[in-house]
Chain A
Amino acid sequence: MPKRRRSRALLVDITRCIGCRACVGACKEAHGLPGDDTATELSATSLTAMVDQGDLHVRRLCMHCEDPSCASVCPVGALHKTDLGPVAYDARLCLGCRYCMVACPFNVPRYEWTKAVPAVRKCDMCIERVAQGQLPACVDACPVEATVAGDRDELLAEAHHRIAERPGDYHPHVYGETEAGGTSVLFLSPVPFAQLGFVQGLPAEPLPDLTWQVLEKVPGVVTLGGAALLAVWWITHRREEVAAAQTAREDDHA
């Protein structure tokens, strides 16, 4: 994958969040989804949600991976990483195989289980607004700039800057900098991320590489396998011909 320059990203600073849930409500409004701002778990109608853990409030949303598993596994490319940054989805192409849901290391995509014509639902970083230079709805709604938007490189620098400036207030890790090859949604937290239920133990290499290591062998398997099978066929049938010829000759002599 070529390195995208100036891809849009989000930085969520949990130390700043006051738990007002404006982002949750604004997301619903922007996407025309039913319900209010109380969602605590992602669903087909809540593309962002907020978990309250004591004084801390943790947003959940698609991480917009740099090399997203969901897009890599989609057989028809209904999901894809845009140059702009967001991972976008086109329901018209989707087969509904739900492999994206199985594959996402962050368990993000949701399905419209109760619809006859269902779609996968997940945060799209308000791609239409972003394409027009506007802010995503959640960023726009946040009264304290707990979620901000910007270029990924700049936001990463900003995140490290905040940690360096007030090391006592931050856990010294930017979640999303390296997880699963890096994501376009970055988190800062006052406590270790494991305590807040963030997925742990993800490799720094993109997960699609695991699949590619096998898939790239396919042409070789086909060529070698095909050649081997034909070789075996030739040998086994040749042996038979030789044997037949031999018997014929012996018969002649007899």
Chain B
Amino acid sequence: MRDRYGVPFWKAVFYLLTAVGFVVLVRRYAYGLGAVTNLSDAYPWGLWIGFDVLCGVGLAAGGFTITTVVYVFNAKRFKPIVRPTILTAFLGYVLVIVALLADLGRPWNLWRPIVLWNPRSVMFEVAWCVMLYTTVLALEFSSLLLEKLRWTRALAVQQAVTLPLVVAGALLSTLHQSSLGSLYLIVPGKLHPLWYTPLLPVLFFLSAIAVGLAMVIVESRLSSRAFGRALEMPLVSEVGRVLVAALGVYAVTRVFDLADRGVLGAAFRPTGEAGLFWLEFLGGVLLPMGRLAAPRVRANTGALYGAALLTVMGFVVHRLNVSITGFESAQGGRYVPAWSELAITLMLVALGFGVFALAVRHLRVYPEAAPARA
């Protein structure tokens, strides 16, 4: 990739973000969370939970949807998408764990849920899902490495357990995506009614499916720009078509839920919450859905990419509304992340891009392309 698109520039950005993030991380461990974050007793969860964890896990959702579609529903035409989504999901989960290590006050106790069980806690369910699904993803991802190392025996074993792995991955992901929504079921009095609903787990699950598909489109575009490797256009268009359906199911559920709880009116009051709601729902769900419904848009690389980006934006705004802004009316005051919180987040994003780039160069991530020239 050396010969394309200003690689030295992106490399410099990568090293800069990683270095700054690392310094912040050292400060955080030496002087406590207060030294680098704007977290407070009124806002104990901030950017790291709202973006790094909630969005990170959601953006990784392509991993289980695509593998399920290919291996369980036997839709072979999607097979070329399997590898990039598994790679994304695996990287996503590893980075979520890194984010948790920064966010937890006593990260060295992270293993304790293995022995101390509190099944009434959603966080307990979340902890187990993270541990088990990361293991599943590592095993799924291992085929790329084994193939590179030419360990054919191990590869054969790995391939033999594909179905159980895929099924386990689908179940764990369903639980994990929805349980991130369930985390907020216990705060009916604190979370704004535009976001608090008993359906939170369902909405988290449905929106994760949509954003997982959107990420397939986004990544394919980015890799084609950066490495000249991508999925074939008809396939990406097809993903766009499925995305319309996924967004549709989510949109109907969301509106039905608001109407059912009688809070649709809250969306039409002149409040900051209503504005954020429309940004998320109109800009990030209805608009991309409408655009993608047109075959002309799906056939155009740029337009398809734009609609996918809008979907990702809507998803991120929804997660931030649930985790941060939705609390403002009840908690008073406001949480705005410190630059140093942002620095950690950017470091994680940079690491994600960096490792993805490495993998595309050295492993057969996009199988139809020839292996790297290097």
Interface residue ranges, A against B (CB under 8 Å): 42-43, 69, 72-77, 93-99, 101-103, 105, 107, 109-119, 199, 201-203, 207-208, 210-215, 218, 221-222, 225-226, 229-230, 232-233, 236-237, 239-240
Instruction: Verify if B39 is at the interface (C-beta below 8 Å from A).
Output: yes
A96 adjacent to B188 (CB under 8 Å): no
A103 adjacent to B186 (CB under 8 Å): yes
Instruction: Verify if B119 is at the interface (C-beta below 8 Å from A).
Output: yes
Residues of the A chain whose Cβ atoms lie less than 8 Å from the Cβ of B123: 73-75, 97, 99
Residues of the A chain whose Cβ atoms lie less than 8 Å from the Cβ of B174: 221, 225
A113 adjacent to B34 (CB under 8 Å): yes
A93 adjacent to B125 (CB under 8 Å): no
Residues of the B chain whose Cβ atoms lie less than 8 Å from the Cβ of A117: 106
Instruction: Verify if B20 is at the interface (C-beta below 8 Å from A).
Output: no
Nearest chain B CB to A129's CB is how many angstroms away? 26
A77 adjacent to B32 (CB under 8 Å): no
Given known A-B contacts A102-B45, A233-B163, A95 and B104 have beta carbons under 8 A apart: yes
Given known A-B contacts A99-B123, A215-B119, A94 and B105 have beta carbons under 8 A apart: yes
* Residue among B31, B68, B72 making CB contact with A116, cutoff 8 Å: B31
Given known A-B contacts A96-B109, A118-B105, A237 and B74 have beta carbons under 8 A apart: yes
A207 adjacent to B112 (CB under 8 Å): no
Nearest chain A CB to B269's CB is how many angstroms away? 19
5 A-B residue pairings within 8 Å (CB atoms): A76-B112, A105-B190, A119-B105, A222-B171, A226-B167
Instruction: Name which of A42, A229, A233 has the most chain B CB atoms within 10 A of its CB.
Output: A229
Residue of A nearest to B188 (CB): A210
A221 adjacent to B44 (CB under 8 Å): no
Instruction: Verify if B290 is at the interface (C-beta below 8 Å from A).
Output: no
Question: Interface 1/0s, chain B 34-62, versus A by CB < 8 A?
Answer: 11010111101100000000000000000
Top 4 nearest A-B pairs (CB, nearest first) are A96-B105, A113-B34, A236-B74, A75-B123
| Chain B stretch 19-41: residues in CB contact (< 8 A) with chain A | 29-35, 37, 39-41
* Residue among A69, A214, A233 making CB contact with B201, cutoff 8 Å: A214
Given known A-B contacts A74-B121, A233-B163, A222 and B74 have beta carbons under 8 A apart: no
* Residue among B73, B109, B183, B190 making CB contact with A76, cutoff 8 Å: B109
* Residue among B105, B175, B187 making CB contact with A111, cutoff 8 Å: B105
The majority secondary structure among interface residues of chain B is helix
A233 adjacent to B74 (CB under 8 Å): yes
Interface residue ranges, B against A (CB under 8 Å): 29-35, 37, 39-42, 44-45, 68, 71-74, 103-107, 109-110, 112-113, 116-127, 163, 167, 170-171, 174-175, 182-183, 185-190, 198, 201, 331
* Residue among A97, A111, A233 making CB contact with B41, cutoff 8 Å: A111
Bound complex: CA A214 to CA B201 (Å)? 8
A115 adjacent to B32 (CB under 8 Å): yes
Given known A-B contacts A95-B112, A210-B185, A210-B186, A116 and B122 have beta carbons under 8 A apart: no
A102 adjacent to B44 (CB under 8 Å): yes
Given known A-B contacts A110-B41, A214-B201, A72 and B104 have beta carbons under 8 A apart: no
Residues of the A chain whose Cβ atoms lie less than 8 Å from the Cβ of B42: 107
Given known A-B contacts A105-B189, A199-B189, A218-B125, A95 and B120 have beta carbons under 8 A apart: no
Bound complex: CA A236 to CA B40 (Å)? 52
Nearest chain A CB to B264's CB is how many angstroms away? 20
Bound complex: CA A230 to CA B39 (Å)? 45
Residues of the A chain whose Cβ atoms lie less than 8 Å from the Cβ of B117: 77
Residues of the B chain whose Cβ atoms lie less than 8 Å from the Cβ of A93: 109, 112, 116
Nearest chain B CB to A201's CB is how many angstroms away? 6
Bound complex: CA A187 to CA B254 (Å)? 40
* Residue among B39, B107, B126 making CB contact with A113, cutoff 8 Å: B39
Nearest chain A CB to B218's CB is how many angstroms away? 27
B121 adjacent to A73 (CB under 8 Å): yes
Residues of the B chain whose Cβ atoms lie less than 8 Å from the Cβ of A199: 189
Bound complex: CA A76 to CA B110 (Å)? 10
Residue of A nearest to B71 (CB): A233
B167 adjacent to A229 (CB under 8 Å): yes
Residues of the B chain whose Cβ atoms lie less than 8 Å from the Cβ of A202: 189
Bound complex: CA A102 to CA B110 (Å)? 19
Nearest chain A CB to B96's CB is how many angstroms away? 13
Nearest chain A CB to B174's CB is how many angstroms away? 6
Known A-B contacts: A72-B121, A117-B106, A215-B119. Give 6 more (CB < 8 A): A75-B116, A75-B126, A93-B109, A98-B45, A113-B34, A237-B74
B122 adjacent to A111 (CB under 8 Å): no
A74 adjacent to B44 (CB under 8 Å): no
Nearest chain B CB to A59's CB is how many angstroms away? 18
B183 adjacent to A99 (CB under 8 Å): yes
B41 adjacent to A101 (CB under 8 Å): yes
Residues of the A chain whose Cβ atoms lie less than 8 Å from the Cβ of B167: 226, 229-230, 233
Residues of the B chain whose Cβ atoms lie less than 8 Å from the Cβ of A222: 171, 175
Instruction: Name which of A43, A97, A110 has the most chain B CB atoms within 10 A of its CB.
Output: A97
Bound complex: CA A119 to CA B104 (Å)? 11
B175 adjacent to A218 (CB under 8 Å): yes
Given known A-B contacts A98-B45, A105-B189, A118-B32, A74 and B72 have beta carbons under 8 A apart: no
Residues of the A chain whose Cβ atoms lie less than 8 Å from the Cβ of B32: 112-116, 118
A75 adjacent to B118 (CB under 8 Å): yes
B40 adjacent to A76 (CB under 8 Å): no
Residues of the B chain whose Cβ atoms lie less than 8 Å from the Cβ of A114: 31-32, 34-35
Residues of the A chain whose Cβ atoms lie less than 8 Å from the Cβ of B40: 113
Bound complex: CA A119 to CA B109 (Å)? 12
Residues of the A chain whose Cβ atoms lie less than 8 Å from the Cβ of B45: 98, 102
Instruction: Name which of B32, B42, B127, B170 has the most chain A CB atoms within 10 A of its CB.
Output: B32
